[in-house]
Chains A and B, each alone.
Chain A
């Protein structure tokens, strides 16, 4: 009951999405019109056929009383009608497919190009899976449901009206009987589906519970085995499984009653038409008028056809609602506020000097939780800045701000004296080479991945970059060298290898400034030493920002920023900070705490 009250407002809300849908349909106006027109023709032809056949049956009366001269032209006409129906139906389906798939494609394109223009603040807080399912499955459901659903609805409604029209012209009273009885099947379907709603909810809840358990137990199966927890989890699993069997059985059984029930209503309608029709033919009860056997047969086939669109429509309505909800989700995404484009007079930076000023910057992801406050820093060309501090202190955030993945809340960051908000984003980001904590590789060959740094690079450059990043030797050992295909996320490679590839990518780009976020955390120290030699060459004359836990990595920095809770609490060189004997000194000494015990 509660659900019913809610439905209209939900429906109204989802109907608001229609203008957006129509906007995407506009290029296909002509096709849509054609589809509607042809559907109407196909419905008419389909309904006309039983009349022709009925007429033919009327000419087959009894032994020696068959009017062949009358039948043949009727049959010829029927044959033409059949072929035309088939042709028209095929065209309608093809046209509908074309519209649907093209709209899907257009919506996906729009969504994807939107994705590239959305602020990271949106992308970071929206789960990846959610956006993926909007772009993939929601678009499918929306297009299938709304477009195919619409045509189904349209032809269904037309069939009902057409059938009514033909039936009323043939015999109003019997038509009336059909009209009175058929809504029964709608009622039955409605009755069953409202009853089963709760059962399905229970089923999907229990199923969800089971999925969570499976997710945990299987996902971390190694830990489960290490602690021999298999038996305990099996008990939990079986308990949920038992409950699931019960709700599943209920939901499956009761929902499967819709079909038999409506079919039963159909057979009652069929019997009624047969009964009253036959009596009318006999001419028994005057009110029913007289009727021929052929008309009766035509009625019988109508009675069969007539209820079908009702069932379809009742299915379509829920589907439509569902697809409107999906459309809402996808259009919400498409209409999400994009990043403001770079202003016309924004500077294009080429070969940045690398003087970075951070002036009184405040920033937080969540307005209720302050993070960076009044951060000041002046970095001269070619300096190395190391950022250290405990997890969650805001180190990565500084990088987000430098690259303008996020805009500052207050204050300003400038590069070579220009506020970075007045620099075109591509040229700003192009000035930095970045290796992030979370290594990201795309599915493609090793070469493709390195070439992301510079798509125009030639093969020699790629190899040179890989050598500089000490990735060449392991790449060579891969089955197909540089042409080895890496799956999504680079699953076949070790964390360290992935990081080496990311470094090679930057080596190939050779931008004027560098950002290294925990770049070497997964690489063993010997490889790291080699990489750092390479980095040292690369960092020569380049402004670099390095985030790392390891003190050895940052000892040679020109400035060390020690951050805690979003604030820079200490600033200076390694020696200065040790002398100051503050938080940095504490961190540094703790690494050797145990050694001094020796």
Chain B
């Protein structure tokens, strides 16, 4: 009888293990979106190695606590069977003290476990973040374009935080809950095999319910999230586009389209709600019906003298413990699923490698001002069409090179190749006669002053921002840069002058002031090559003209590349490169191009309607 019961128990246990295993596989499938499962947690493991001790001690002490908790029903059984059975009051008091002691031991172990878990999680994630930050510095522009900065920021902030929470919870609970569930079952088996069978039956049933409902809900929740995203997008669009929407009198249409979206969201939420609402009642029914079965079989066993009343109560208590732990475990799985997804996203960022091959022991360039483009073509990663095709020109030290062309004709892309922000896909770029790929990248960039199209400054003082150009710059150099960039006047007007604080992004300056400071920042390094990428668009004509004049008169006479859409800004350039849809359609001085290049002439005439007027 008892042997066959054991046989049944084992087979039920096997079924349970298989269910868990199957669920696990399914769970993995959810996570395994694109990459291989094997490498999914590589970085996490790498960084948690430093906290190996904590990672082991956390769960270990949690297990101690769980073991103490599992002892409680046994002690209670003793109180009932021996204490009450023999009427021994002292024994009852002694045993109750044992219960309190078990509580104390549990408390101490948990506190230790919580400490180790917190330390491991916080430390691991911090170390990952630091490594990630370093990793991003190593990416080239190509990867930054592809991944997108807002994505990277999310990875480093909210994803990292969620990972930290998830890891902390996992270390604390992942071992504990199954341990209690199995432990309770094993304890039940030690009390009475026959009665324990209802445990063996109810645990798989509970797992099926809990994990089944969860698995059903996960894709539904994803849909809820999508609907919510679309509601969010709609709200944000209506805010950013409020003028357009009102100008086109679309208010009513927007409201009804929004209402449709919230309706969809709401019905989706109600649908998930109906399913997830099944979880509690179903588990309640299962566990309590099992309790009833337990009491009935217990009654039979007691009647035949195989069990005591205390045993039945102990079994009953174990059953209650299982339910609580299983529900906890289910919610833990959700948290873990989310954090693993976060980790996976972080991992993918780690796997993004710079596509630029850096030259070991690269040469330090001498005369950066001499630049030659030899049949250079360039295609952005993922784009089918090249943005630049077959560009050839030569710039000699001290010359001013203008670059002009329509929107999207490749002007910015061309200048971005000079400091090697991107690598040319075809052809060569020679700096001082040497291919840029053979030069020491830092040494090259140090000698080039770039003024990007978008004026970006950083939080800190004006001076700190300028020192980005050259941290050893002296007062004179800074003053020279401020004067040349036409910023001296407005900087002097600031309360603290050059030590005035800028907000993040330099938001407390006007667009024109920001642009002038970015020019100053580039000039502080007294560059051998200065690149102005349409960087004076926010300046009025007068300021723009004086800026150009003072750049032309810089004492160290850099090679200047000016990207512009106005021919007036480029007229005095030594050479002008005319780009049309990525192709070089003209090269020469203003006068030459007016003669020979129809595109240039067209551009020029569109800006100076009547030829010869006042020029």
Chain A residues with CB under 8 Å of B251's CB are 116-117
Q: Which of A253, A259, A271, A434 contacts B244 (CB 8 A)?
A: A434
Chain B residues with CB under 8 Å of A10's CB are none
* Interface: A27 (CB within 8 A): no
Q: Which of A115, A245, A440 contacts B122 (CB 8 A)?
A: A245
CB <8 Å contact, A216 and B320: no
For A246, give the chain B residue with the smallest CB separation. B122
* Interface: A543 (CB within 8 A): no
A253 to B89, CA, bound (A): 41
For A502, give the chain B residue with the smallest CB separation. B244
12 further A-B pairs in the complex, CB-CB below 8 A; given A65-B303, A219-B150, A497-B407: A53-B295, A62-B305, A78-B288, A113-B255, A233-B133, A248-B126, A249-B119, A267-B99, A267-B102, A275-B93, A278-B83, A591-B545
Contacts A71-B295, A115-B239, A257-B114 hold; do A109 and B607 have CB atoms under 8 A apart?
Answer: no
CB <8 Å contact, B309 and A62: yes
Chain A residues with CB under 8 Å of B250's CB are 452
A71 to B229, CA, bound (A): 56
A598 to B418, CA, bound (A): 29
* Interface: B298 (CB within 8 A): yes
Contacts A489-B240, A587-B540, A594-B572 hold; do A89 and B281 have CB atoms under 8 A apart?
Answer: yes
* Interface: A22 (CB within 8 A): no
Q: Which of B93, B150, B247, B406 contacts A524 (CB 8 A)?
A: B406
Q: Which of B103, B240, B288, B300 contacts A264 (CB 8 A)?
A: B103
For the complex of A and B, the 8 pairs showing the least CB-CB separation, nearest first, are: A496-B407, A524-B406, A267-B103, A275-B96, A97-B273, A63-B305, A230-B137, A271-B99
Contacts A75-B292, A112-B238, A284-B89 hold; do A552 and B609 have CB atoms under 8 A apart?
Answer: yes
* Interface: A228 (CB within 8 A): yes
Chain B residues with CB under 8 Å of A591's CB are 541, 545, 568
CB <8 Å contact, A79 and B137: no
CB <8 Å contact, A66 and B284: no
A522 to B408, CA, bound (A): 10
CB <8 Å contact, B237 and A278: no
Chain B residues with CB under 8 Å of A64's CB are 303, 305
CB <8 Å contact, B504 and A109: no
A266 to B136, CA, bound (A): 49
* Interface: A537 (CB within 8 A): no
CB <8 Å contact, A443 and B233: yes
CB <8 Å contact, B130 and A268: no
Whole-angstrom distance from the CB of B544 to the nearest CB of chain A?
A: 8
| Chain A interface helix/strand/loop/mixed | helix
For B282, give the chain A residue with the smallest CB separation. A86
CB <8 Å contact, A57 and B149: no
What 1/0 flags go to A27-49 for Cβ under 8 Å of B?
A: 00000000000000000000001
A253 to B119, CA, bound (A): 8
* Interface: A252 (CB within 8 A): yes
Q: Which residues of B (374-397) have their CB < 8 Å from a CB of A?
A: none
CB <8 Å contact, A267 and B106: yes
CB <8 Å contact, A60 and B512: no
* Interface: A351 (CB within 8 A): no
Partner-binding segment picked from A11-19, A295-303, A315-323, A352-360? A295-303
What 1/0 flags go to A85-114 for Cβ under 8 Å of B?
A: 111011001100110011011001100110
For B161, give the chain A residue with the smallest CB separation. A207
Chain A residues with CB under 8 Å of B150's CB are 219
Chain A residues with CB under 8 Å of B228's CB are 136
What 1/0 flags go to B58-98 for Cβ under 8 Å of A?
A: 00000000000000100010011001100111001101110
Q: Which of B83, B136, B521 contacts A221 (CB 8 A)?
A: B136
What 1/0 flags go to B154-169 for Cβ under 8 Å of A?
A: 0011000100100010
Q: Which of B114, B235, B292, B450 contacts A78 (CB 8 A)?
A: B292
Count of chain A to chain B residue pairs whose CB atoms are closer than 8 Å in the complex: 429
Q: Which of A120, A271, A426, A528 contacts B606 (CB 8 A)?
A: A528
Q: Which of B262, B303, B442, B602 contacts A108 (CB 8 A)?
A: B262
Whole-angstrom distance from the CB of A91 to the nearest CB of chain B?
A: 9
* Interface: B608 (CB within 8 A): yes
Whole-angstrom distance from the CB of A326 to the nearest CB of chain B?
A: 16
Q: Which of A214, A264, A525, A551 contacts B156 (CB 8 A)?
A: A214
Q: Which residues of B (87-127) have their CB < 8 Å from a CB of A?
A: 87-89, 92-93, 95-97, 99-100, 102-104, 106-107, 110-111, 114-115, 117-119, 121-123, 126
Chain B residues with CB under 8 Å of A527's CB are 406-407
A and B contact pairs by CB, cutoff 8 A, 5 listed: A62-B302, A123-B242, A215-B153, A217-B133, A222-B144
For A588, give the chain B residue with the smallest CB separation. B541
CB <8 Å contact, A301 and B243: no
A271 to B105, CA, bound (A): 14
Whole-angstrom distance from the CB of B511 to the nearest CB of chain A?
A: 7
Chain A residues with CB under 8 Å of B133's CB are 214, 217, 233-234, 237
A434 to B244, CA, bound (A): 8
Contacts A64-B305, A495-B407 hold; do A89 and B284 have CB atoms under 8 A apart?
Answer: yes
For A529, give the chain B residue with the smallest CB separation. B606
Q: Which residues of A (439-462) have their CB < 8 Å from a CB of B?
A: 440, 442-443, 452-453, 455
What 1/0 flags go to A545-557 for Cβ under 8 Å of B?
A: 0000111100100
CB <8 Å contact, B92 and A270: no
CB <8 Å contact, A93 and B100: no
Whole-angstrom distance from the CB of B484 to the nearest CB of chain A?
A: 15
A226 to B602, CA, bound (A): 34
CB <8 Å contact, B316 and A53: yes
CB <8 Å contact, B303 and A57: no
Chain B residues with CB under 8 Å of A234's CB are 130, 133-134, 137
| Chain B interface helix/strand/loop/mixed | helix
CB <8 Å contact, A218 and B153: yes
CB <8 Å contact, A116 and B254: yes
Q: Which of A71, A82, A229, A430 contacts B249 (CB 8 A)?
A: A430
Chain A residues with CB under 8 Å of B303's CB are 60, 63-66, 68
Chain B residues with CB under 8 Å of A525's CB are 406, 565-566, 603, 606-607
For B249, give the chain A residue with the smallest CB separation. A426
CB <8 Å contact, B99 and A270: yes
A245 to B288, CA, bound (A): 45
Whole-angstrom distance from the CB of B228 to the nearest CB of chain A?
A: 7
CB <8 Å contact, B79 and A105: no
* Interface: B170 (CB within 8 A): no
Interface centre among B111, B309, B602, B615 (most CB of A within 10 A): B309
For A116, give the chain B residue with the smallest CB separation. B251
Q: Which residues of A (112-159) have their CB < 8 Å from a CB of B?
A: 112-113, 115-117, 120, 123, 128, 131-132, 135-136
* Interface: B368 (CB within 8 A): no
Whole-angstrom distance from the CB of B551 to the nearest CB of chain A?
A: 11
Q: Which of A215, A229, A442 contacts B241 (CB 8 A)?
A: A442
* Interface: A391 (CB within 8 A): yes
Whole-angstrom distance from the CB of B347 to the nearest CB of chain A?
A: 18
A116 to B244, CA, bound (A): 12
CB <8 Å contact, A260 and B243: no
CB <8 Å contact, B408 and A496: yes
* Interface: B510 (CB within 8 A): yes
Chain A residues with CB under 8 Å of B12's CB are none
A229 to B282, CA, bound (A): 59
A274 to B94, CA, bound (A): 11
* Interface: B351 (CB within 8 A): no
* Interface: A595 (CB within 8 A): yes
Interface centre among A86, A432, A550, A588 (most CB of B within 10 A): A86
* Interface: A429 (CB within 8 A): yes
CB <8 Å contact, A112 and B258: yes
CB <8 Å contact, B442 and A228: yes
CB <8 Å contact, A592 and B615: yes
Contacts A68-B299, A86-B281, A275-B93 hold; do A260 and B407 have CB atoms under 8 A apart?
Answer: no
Chain B residues with CB under 8 Å of A231's CB are 137
For A247, give the chain B residue with the smallest CB separation. B122
Partner-binding segment picked from B24-32, B35-43, B264-272? B264-272
CB <8 Å contact, A132 and B122: no
CB <8 Å contact, A260 and B458: no
CB <8 Å contact, B239 and A123: yes
